[in-house]
Copies of this chain bind each other. A is one copy, B any other.
């Protein structure tokens, strides 16, 4: 769970997650949305992968990333449990 919160603490990574909410995308497509280098985006993606916030699949020379809703749910539970009477 620490990995997940650490992953979410960076604005670029949160933005990546917001894009992936809309549709699955290749690493290159994701990188095109940002003004930072592809290696840097690749690094952010590996942190998101490691936290299991995103899933990935190889498709030829591309790698397609998608949101892992299961882990998103798990983080939400942490917040839910913060409410009174839990």
A-to-B contact residues, CB < 8 Å: 2, 5-6, 8-9, 11, 14, 17-18, 21, 67, 69, 72, 75-76, 79-84
Contact = CB atoms under 8 A, between A and B. Distances in A.
B5 A9 contact: yes
Contact of A72 (B2, B75, B82): B82
9 contacts: A5-B9, A8-B8, A8-B9, A18-B82, A21-B81, A69-B82, A69-B83, A72-B82, A79-B79
B83 A79 contact: no
Contacts of A21: 81-82
Question: Which one of A8, A11, A67, A72 has the greatest number of beta carbons of chain B within 10 Å?
Answer: A8
